[in-house]
Amino acid sequence: MSCLSYYKSRFTRFYAERAVAGREAVGRAARRLGLQTPIVIESREELPEEHRNEHTLVAVPTRGNAVDRCPGSRGHVCCNYLTIDLYAGCTLGCSYCIMQSYRNFAPLVVNVETEPIIAAVQTIAAANPGRRIRVGTGQIGDSLQLDPLFELSRELIEAFAAEPRVELELKTKTDFVDHLLNLPRKGNAIIAFSLNPPELVGAEEPETASVERRLAAAERALEAGYRVAFHFDPIIRVAEWQAWYRAVIERLRGFPAERIAWVSLGTVRFTTALRDAVPPRAYMFDEFVPSRDGKLRYLQPERVETYRYVRRVLERAIGRVPVYLCMESPAVWRRVFADRCAFPVGSLFAPLKLPDAQRSSRGPGQKARDPRPSGR
Amino acid sequence: MSSEPWGGNGSTMRSVSELLLSPTDFDLFSESETPDERLLEHGVHAPVLLWARAKDRPVVWGWTLLRRLSALGIGEVATVSVWGDGAEALALALRAEGRAGAYSWDELRRIGAGIRRLGLTRADAQFAELVMGRRGSVLREVERFEALPEVLRTTVRDGMLDLKTAERGAGLRESVLGVFVEGAARLSFSQRRVILGLLYEFCVLGDRPAGEVIGYMRTAFADPDPPAALRALRFPRLSELERRFGEIRDRNLSGSGVELQPPPGFEGSAFQVRFGFETRAQLLKRLEALQKLESRCDELFELL
């Protein structure tokens, strides 16, 4: 994907709420879209019905909590990740995307007001001395799909550069990293790439960058001084899954383990509402069982087998790097990490103190339970 | 509603045979109930409704009654004229019929056709409560029914399947549906729903050849519990876990009075045992069985 031509063909309308219409990031995005100014509205509710689609961008101020806890998943282990809703929505078209079943506003919404976010993260860091603060912008949108237009990640990276305990993660399925490479101060920012075998990317992630391009972008990020992370999530157990995942993991062989912040693993999971809402996909009709959070997951022994396999192949390819499981049950954690816990969970799984303003209704999915292996 | 929908002039006796020759735009109901023959002979029945606003004064409601009276040789019938517009006339006919939610699919199709014929498509939603006993669109309901393959329309018409379940089967090959309908007659309504849902998943899952799916169905239909048999074929790995669990349980605990349960869906880490006892001997028997299980419990944990 070539950034600017991509944006011009993808997005045909740009609205900005009056409160943020004059901000630098809005003007920058408008110019790059070939517009003089965005269409100014009082509130996104004003958007005409015919423009409420994914060809429309809307710039808005921060509303509600600037930083929140990852909602986690009931009955599953929470890793105390914090989320920033910088970019809400995405047009990458992944077939498994849970947002298809619950997001009721199609335009892509960009929170261009970064000051409250920065202040909130700094407050959390101050309230948790000695703790690592893992925070990311890729929860309800792709961290970098729109970032070359708005350059909001730059503002966050520069603001957090002075606080080494803050690990800002920018998670993407694009290769849009070049606008971040020359920042003089990168702090502990981490550029993370979701990975799947090329065969699955082609079939299930139609608008994303190819694996080759993502890995080339990861190399550029690494050379520029960032740490990188990789997310194998969702892992889909097609017939050839072992060979396919082994092949994509082999491509990580050149990445130095000490520069990989973490690797997360998660097998595909979804609600029946999602399965009913999207065109039928064969992989969604594999054998699944309902988990404690109501989502369908592969049978537990198969998930354990999958994670063990991927972890083993990872270790052979890149050595020992921190590996964690996303939205998995304590039972699966124990079985996968029966030998040792690869991720330093002791410090991470104790809940962070969030100031009142950040104590939202979306508390962690469950009380953090230490998933480290217990004797049997 | 107009100010005088019933004409305000009571009923008028008219010739049954002449009324049967009037326009049939409102001849929509084929399963209307009519009073007992003796009552009809004494003129005890609701009056036939005529639409006074239309030129030919068509019968709005009472077609079945008229045919019945004609068959009994009764020459005259009480009628009442109604004045409203087409939508009001149809609403009156539906109120007079009073079978919301109980119309047959053939009647629904005729009602849908009547709505179109009378130019009332925009008023469709206002008939939903009177026709289906719930909100919605009569025309959409009819369209959904008509979009089904003939074999599924028949199953819905015969009450073997509900419309929503039948729609899941609409993408299945006719040969598959044929075998389904053949075997489904012996099943309960809920069993049919389960089976059609599983068949749908089989086909979406892997574009299985029709012959393979038919083979699954025949296997299931030959089983005393067809939905369970088909489920085992649809979820072979889960079924295998269940089978292995049952084998371990029976081998170690059979006859011991101890119940053993895996976590639901084999998701989690804890098995549960339950037992009761009334005597020391019973307790000893249960504990010995559990001890035997303990010595082999690795087999159980391998299932999780």
Confidence class for position B281, pLDDT limits 50, 70, 90: very high
Which pLDDT belongs to residue A361?
A: 46
The mean per-residue pLDDT over the stretch B92-117 comes to 94
Please give the backbone phi and psi of residue B126, each rounded to the nearest 5 degrees, phi first.
-75, -15
Rounded Cα distance between A272 and A284, Å, is: 9
Residue A62 has pLDDT above 60, yes or no: yes
Rounded Cα distance between B86 and A114, Å, is: 61
Confidence class for position A276, pLDDT limits 50, 70, 90: confident
Which pLDDT belongs to residue B9?
A: 57
Residue B26 has pLDDT above 80, yes or no: yes
Which pLDDT belongs to residue A256?
A: 96
Q: Do B238 and A290 touch (CB under 8 A)?
A: no
Q: Do A299 and B241 touch (CB under 8 A)?
A: yes
Which pLDDT belongs to residue B205?
A: 65
Residue A1 has pLDDT above 70, yes or no: no
Q: Check if the beta carbon of residue A282 is closer than 8 Å to that of residue B206.
A: yes
Residue A376 has pLDDT above 50, yes or no: no
Rounded Cα distance between A137 and A139, Å, is: 6
**Average pLDDT taken over every residue of chain B:** 90
Confidence class for position A342, pLDDT limits 50, 70, 90: low
Please give the backbone phi and psi of residue A231, each rounded to the nearest 5 degrees, phi first.
-125, 115
Q: Considering only residues 245 to 264 of chain B, which have any Cβ-Cβ distance to chain A shorter than 8 Å?
A: 264
Q: Do A297 and B267 touch (CB under 8 A)?
A: yes
Residue A366 has pLDDT above 50, yes or no: no
The mean per-residue pLDDT over the stretch B59-79 comes to 95
User: Where do the H-state alpha helices sit in chain A?
Assistant: 3-10, 24-32, 99-102, 115-127, 147-150, 152-160, 198-204, 211-224, 241-250, 272-277, 300-318, 330-336, 345-348
Q: B59-84 burial, b for 16+ CB within 10 Å, e for fewer? A: bbbbbbbbebbeeeebeebebbbbbb
CA distance B163 to chain A (A): 17
Residue A189 has pLDDT above 90, yes or no: yes
What ipTM is given for this predicted complex? 0.79
Beta bridge partners of B221: none
For residue B266, which residues of chain A lie inside 8 Å, CB to CB? 289, 299-301
Residue A245 has pLDDT above 90, yes or no: yes
CA distance A73 to chain B (A): 15
Query: Of A16-20, A266-270, B10-14, B153-157, which range is least confident?
Result: B10-14
Query: Of A160-169, A276-285, B155-164, which range is least confident?
Result: A276-285
For residue B204, which residues of chain A lie inside 8 Å, CB to CB? 280, 282, 285
Confidence class for position B225, pLDDT limits 50, 70, 90: very high
What confidence tens digit (pLDDT) does each residue in B180-211 have? 988 888 899 999 999 998 988 887 766 678 88
CA distance A366 to chain B (A): 15
What confidence tens digit (pLDDT) does each residue in B116-147 have? 999 999 889 999 999 999 999 999 999 999 99
CA distance A219 to chain B (A): 38
For residue B304, which residues of chain A lie inside 8 Å, CB to CB? 300-301, 331, 335
Which pLDDT belongs to residue A365?
A: 42
For residue A330, which residues of chain B lie inside 8 Å, CB to CB? 269
Rounded Cα distance between B29 and A316, Å, is: 75
* pTM exceeding the 0.90 threshold for the entire prediction: no
CA distance A371 to chain B (A): 12
Higher pLDDT, B57 or A264: A264
Q: Check if the beta carbon of residue A331 is closer than 8 Å to that of residue B269.
A: yes
**Is B278 part of the contact surface with chain A (CB cutoff 8 Å)?**
no
pLDDT above 90: percentage of residues in chain B: 72
Q: Considering only residues 206 to 235 of chain B, which have any Cβ-Cβ distance to chain A shorter than 8 Å?
A: 206-207, 235
Which pLDDT belongs to residue B6?
A: 45
Residue B7 has pLDDT above 60, yes or no: no
Pairing of strands A166-172, A133-136: parallel
Question: In this structure, what token pair is assigned to residue B286?
Answer: 């249960």
Nearest in space to A191 (alpha carbons), one of A160, A159, A157, A161: A157
* Nearest-10 crossing angle of helices B138-146, B150-157: 130
Question: In this structure, what token pair is assigned to residue B282?
Answer: 């019973």
**Is B304 part of the contact surface with chain A (CB cutoff 8 Å)?**
yes
Residue A249 has pLDDT above 80, yes or no: yes
**Is B298 part of the contact surface with chain A (CB cutoff 8 Å)?**
no
User: Where do the H-state alpha helices sit in chain B?
Assistant: 16-19, 37-41, 63-71, 86-97, 105-117, 124-132, 138-146, 150-157, 163-168, 174-184, 189-206, 210-221, 226-234, 236-253, 280-295, 297-301
The mean per-residue pLDDT over the stretch B13-18 comes to 95
Site of tokens 């892509």: A108
